[in-house]
């Protein structure tokens, strides 16, 4: 079931797109607990997660994923550790 039409393609390798997806899910699917699973073979810390073939194989680097999570509606629920 299509839940939202944008009228244009979105770059899945952009931190803002990832954050917007997280925020959309948080705003529209309420629950007591949340889990975010990012699954693919990935490129590790050098090439990142996922690839968007519509945007020159752009992928989410780990620092972009961190930025998206820190700026998302779920930021207050993240487990934070001092490393």
Cα dihedral sign for 23, 27, 33, 34? negative
State residue 83's pLDDT score. Answer: 45
Structure tokens at 58: 């752009």
- Tell me how many degrees the CA angle 69-75-78 measures, rounded to the nearest 5: 95
In the block, which residue shows the tokens 């930025």? 67
Please compute the mean of the pLDDT values over residues 5-32 and round it to a whole number.
90
Q: Decide if 18 contacts 65 (C-beta within 8 A).
A: yes
37-69 per-position pLDDT tens digit: 888 776 777 888 888 888 999 999 989 999 999
pTM: 0.81
């Amino acid at each position: 079931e299509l839940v939202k039409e944008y009228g244009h393609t979105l770059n899945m390798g952009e931190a803002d797109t990832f954050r917007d997806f997280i925020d959309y899910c948080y705003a529209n699917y309420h629950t007591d607990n949340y889990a975010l699973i990012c699954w693919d073979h990935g490129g590790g810390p050098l090439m990142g997660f996922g690839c968007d073939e519509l945007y020159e194989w752009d992928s989410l680097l780990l620092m972009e994923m961190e930025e998206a999570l820190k700026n998302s509606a779920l930021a207050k629920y993240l487990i934070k550790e001092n490393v």
